[in-house]
Structure formats: structure tokens, C-alpha cells
Chain A
Amino acid sequence: MLKNTCLKSDISFLSSPPLTRKTKISLTEEELVHALRNREKIAIEALYDMYSASLFGVISRIIVDTAAAEDVLQETFVKIWHSFSSYSTEKGRLFTWMVNIARNLAIDKIRSKDYKNQNKNQELENNVTFIDEQRNTVYKPELLGIKDLVLTLKPEQKSILELVYFKGYTHVEAADELGIPLGTIKTRLRMAIQELRKHFN
């Protein structure tokens, strides 16, 4: 891993055995949190191996542009590493904390001036599909490995989950967007997650 690192000096002692990465590091959540607190390098590697795909899945659904999504994934891990002291196990699961960081960074990104300006420079002929992409969650085939899950959720439950989970809408904004009363939104969101719980258990 470090063979293409620009660091020439003392950093080599930090590297674990030559990384021919076929085996992924996996730790229990407890071990992981402990290692992260101690700023161990193995911890950030394990964290990446265990959660990068899940986080990238969330980020990729928020940001269509792959390069920007990769940037956000990097920002997410850097932020997790640097602000880990603000996480405590009493507040909930590690993943919940991380996915909130990832989602917030991703949403900040698509709302940022740069990103918007970049999108303004799109070719006109691409605009129809582009606007579609912006308004709707795109289901690329690789994102869709969950047919039964899709079938599990009713369309109205799905759309609310999409808006709140992937678009960064608050439930109040989602209620506006969908023209549904606030109470109904909360109920449907709860029902959607109940369905997921049933599905996964």
C-alpha cells in the first residue's frame, strides 16, 4: 500500500506487513472503537475495510458523479479519523454516527456552490436526463442487488426513506415535497423501517 506513498522517511515503520490486499481486516465494533481511540493505524484500515462499501453506497446514492462521491468518501474517513473523540458508545452504534457524517458531507457537497456551478456547465443535450437524475434516485443495476428488499417496501415508504435518507430532506421538507401531512410522514417512515427490521431479522 505504501509503495506509492510519497513519504520517504520514517513513515515506513508505521506500515503493517506488505499489503497484498485480499484479506480484509475485520474487528468487533468494540475492538475497533478501542483501537480508534488509541489512534492505531490498523484501526483506520479495519474501519475502511468494514464500512467503506456501505458508506460509499449511501454517498453514491446522494451524489451521482462518481469522482465527487469518491472525494466525499475520502473526506468522510478523514473526518471520522480526526473527530473520533466526539463519538461515544452510549450515543449509539458506530455506523450510525459515521453514516450521518458521510451523509452530511455528501449533502453539503451537492449543495455547495462549486458542485452546482460544475453542474451548470453540463451540455444542453444531457440536461433532460441530468435533471431526471437530480430529482430521482437513480437505480443503476449495481445498486439494485436488493430486489426482494425493493419489493418489501411499499412505494410510498420507499420514497420517504429515499428523500430523508439519501436526499437530506428533513421530514418537514419531505412532507412538503410529497404533499403529505407531517404525522403521516413520520408514520410511513417508521413503517418503512419496521419493514426493514422484519426483512433483516
Chain B
Amino acid sequence: MEDIKAYIESGILELYVLGDVSPEEKLQVEAMASSHPAIKAELDEIESSMESYAEEMAIEPPQQLRDKILNSIVLSFADDNNFPTKNKPVEKDNVISMPVPKANNFYKYAFAACLALLILSVAALINIRNQLNDANTQLVALSTSNQHYSKTVNYMDRQLNVYRDPSFKVIKLQGTPKHSTASMLVAFSPTKKEVMIDMADLQLPENDLAHQYQLWALVGGKPVSLGVFDKSTADTAEMKKMQSIALAQAFAVTLEPKGGSVNPTMDQMMVIGTF
């Protein structure tokens, strides 16, 4: 009992109430208080008197502070975390977390590569298409010129054949005194009854659109029309086949109105040649 009295009188209980004890002393006081009712009673006395002391010196805080403080606490009522665990929703749920796929850059790069390849391919395609167009154009040009050459060769064969054929007689028609520079070649085959004129060797002035040259054959002193032809600037290297005739003593060419005349206009005679 002496011990307890001494303990009470040491002043440790007062310090305990004033919060001026170390954590060890605090535990010690609490242990002593729980095992010795006298100490517990003494502590209670001290606490009550300090409480009364504080009440005695109380200062009423401003009325609006009550609202402010209680509101700040009431605010936290809205937060479920402030309630004891019994109010908390059950944590367990049936959400199964899926394995997080590893960040993979492969598809990103593959996509970029595909895109680049696509652009290259399109560029190459356009390039090749242009080349194809060029080739086609060239092909058309070549086949055209090829046709042209084969035509030329055919014609030249024919032309050559005219000259090779022994039945053909080639007559050179000379210019009349008015047109001394004019001349042309006429090939005549009495057996085949064919008359051809050599357009390449046609030495005649150009005719206008209203006039044409007309070839005449003199048969027994009478002129027989063998058809009309033009002298154009474009050189047509061709043998032109005229109307057929079996017999002729001479050939002459006159300048006639377009389409030809029934009788030759004698003063417009350009060339004449006798068999």
C-alpha cells in the first residue's frame, strides 16, 4: 500500500493526464491503473478536475465555426471509405483479369512496311503502264510504216512488172510548144488493152481544184478520152491505170474543167506523143 501511495505522490499520474510521459511510462501507468483500483480512482479524480478546469476556462467558439466544422466532417459522410468495414461492399468479384498482352511493335512495323511496299508497287505499276503505252504507240507506228512499206514494195513490183512485160510499150509524151518543159510517161499494152501513166515521172504544172488533166488516145484521127487525173503536190509514186483501149496511134493530155470534157480543148494541150 505504501508503494501505491508513493507512486501516486510521485506526480507521474498528473504528468500522464497532461500527456507529458514517455510511451513506456504511459504503458506502465495504464498497467498500474488496471491492477490497482486506488490508482485508477486517483487518475479519474485528476482527469475530472482537469476537465473541470478546462470547462471553467472554456471559450465559446463562434457560432459559424460549428457549421463549418460539422460540415467538413459531414462531407466525409458521403465518402464510403469513412465507414466501418461492415458497410463496405464485398470485395470479391468475378472479374478475371486477362493476361496483359505484351507490347508488340511487330505489327506496327509490318504495317509500315506493307504501306511502303504498296506505294512502291503503285509507282512501279504506273511507270510500267506508261512504258506499255509507249510501246503500243510505237507498235502501231511500226505496223503502219510496215504496211506502208509492204504497199510500196507491192506497187514497185507491179511497176517493175509493167516495165518487164514485153507487151508494154513505153511512150514519152513531150511538151507542146506552149509548155515545153512538160513531159510524162505512158505505158500501153495493145494485147492486154491496158494504159498506165507513171505518176512519179509526171512533169506537169499543178492543176487547181476547178480543173483536171485528161488523157486522150488518138484512134484513126479521133480523140478518145481515157479518163482524168490530178497532179498534186504530194508525190504519189504510183502507176495509175487509165481506161482500156485496144488501139491508139498517139496519146495526148489536155487541161479540162473538172470531170473532163467530151472533146479535148486543143489550146490547153500539155503534152503529146506518137506511137
Contact = CB atoms under 8 A, between A and B. Distances in A.
B66 A53 contact: no
A78 B65 CA distance: 13
B77 to A, nearest CB: 5
B231 to A, nearest CB: 110
Interface in A1-22: 1-2, 4-5, 7, 9-11, 14-15, 21
Given A95-B51, A186-B11, A1 B59 contact: no
A119 interface: no
B50 A193 contact: yes
B47 A92 contact: yes
Contacts of B57: 54, 57-58, 61, 143, 145-146
B253 interface: no
Contacts of A45: 70
Interface of A: 1-2, 4-5, 7, 9-11, 14-15, 21, 39, 41, 44-45, 48, 52-58, 60-61, 70, 73-74, 77-78, 81-82, 90-93, 95-96, 99-100, 103-104, 142-143, 145-146, 149, 164-165, 170-171, 186-187, 189-190, 193, 196-197, 199-201
Interface string B26-52: 000010001000000001111111111
25 contacts: A1-B71, A10-B78, A11-B75, A11-B78, A39-B84, A52-B66, A53-B58, A53-B59, A53-B61, A56-B58, A73-B69, A77-B73, A95-B47, A96-B50, A96-B51, A143-B59, A145-B56, A146-B56, A164-B18, A171-B20, A186-B11, A197-B46, A200-B48, A200-B53, A201-B49
B235 interface: no
Nearest to B63: A21
Given A10-B78, A48-B70, A196 B62 contact: no
A92 B71 CA distance: 29
Given A5-B74, A54-B51, A93 B44 contact: yes
Contacts of B100: none
Given A193-B49, A200-B48, A39 B83 contact: yes
Contacts of A149: 53, 56
| B contact patch SS | helix
B50 A81 contact: no
Given A52-B66, A73-B69, A186-B14, 15 more contacts: A10-B78, A11-B77, A53-B58, A54-B51, A54-B55, A57-B59, A73-B61, A82-B76, A90-B30, A96-B50, A96-B51, A143-B59, A164-B20, A190-B11, A193-B17
A165 B18 contact: yes
A196 B75 CA distance: 40
